[in-house]
Amino acid sequence: MRVLRGVEPGLAGEWLRGRIGGWATVGGVAGTGFEAYARVLHPVPARRLSWEDPGGGMVPRVVEERDWSWAEVATAVGGAMHPLVQWYALTSDEDIVSLESGWDVGQTRDGWLDPRLWAALVPHLTRADAPDVILGFWTGFGTFERGRRHVAIAVEGDDARAGSEPHLPVVAEEAFEAFAEGELLEIPGLEGTGRGYLMLRGELALLGDPDWGFDAGIGWWGPFREPMPQYAWPADHSWLVASEIDWDSTIVAGSRALVDAVLADPAFEAFEVRPDDRLDWDGDTVNPPRGERR
């Protein structure tokens, strides 16, 4: 991975200029003009609790933890699944939903596609003539600011994943410099959002390993697999993956064959969407409040 600096704007999204659609729409984030689009829902973290044997702090014991699908949540709360489903409309709750079965479910992580799902996505994206990928990381998390311990990671042996005293890899140092010198780039068409992106270029195959970020110098350490890219595309612009920081899903845009493959892959809970579909809270017009469901 290497940092793309301000002298390389042509590599960092100029091709999207004029292709950004309306606010809060699929095309407003992933661009218009692709043959097809898939919305990949982020998994729902869930844990089942029990008060029968509370811990020393009088907190419930965690009996089981796993990810739920949105479809499981919809069944539990009497909601309906559809391409534009929204968490609040589905559950009538902005955060965690406590079910009578003892499970606490939700909410998904906005702007973060699980690295395991990214790894499952890579085979569908790989092309022999486009082995490289350009990644855009939103800088608002503060990850790339010098002095934030979160960006300093160990890069040798098992300590890289254990959170020991960190070292600064070259990519992170370049990121510090780009941040300090104001060489963060905006995606053309998204100007005015106040969101700068640090752009990296590397091999797409690297993202096929769920642990790729530990060695990439982007700030992963200990159990924290973050940040994840908000944007990814190849040099030929044949596809685009967008994880809008305020959305609970990731958009995969590209050819009909690519989207069909993603929709058919059981690794993903995905729906086909259109560039003018809205994915804000008001986009779900199917689910009434839970109290009004039969």
- Max distance between CA atoms of the chain, in angstroms, equals 62
* Cα–Cα distance for residue pair 132/113, rounded to 1 Å: 19
Query: Which pTM was predicted?
Result: 0.85
Q: Exposed/middle/buried for 66, CB within 10 Å: 0-12, 13-18, 19+?
A: exposed
3-state SS assignment for residue 70? helix
Domain ranges within the chain, ordered by starting residue = 2-40+111-276, 44-50+57-107
Mind listing the pLDDT tens digit of every residue in the chain (294 residues)? 777 765 454 556 778 878 888 889 999 999 999 999 999 999 999 999 877 766 666 677 788 999 999 999 999 999 999 999 999 999 988 789 999 888 999 889 999 999 999 999 999 998 756 688 988 888 777 666 655 443 333 333 344 444 433 434 445 566 666 555 555 555 555 544 557 777 888 899 999 999 998 877 777 777 778 889 999 999 889 999 999 988 999 999 999 999 999 999 999 999 999 999 999 988 999 999 887 877
Strand order in the sheet with 44-50: 61-68, 44-50, 103-105, 97-98
**What does DSSP assign to residue 204?**
G
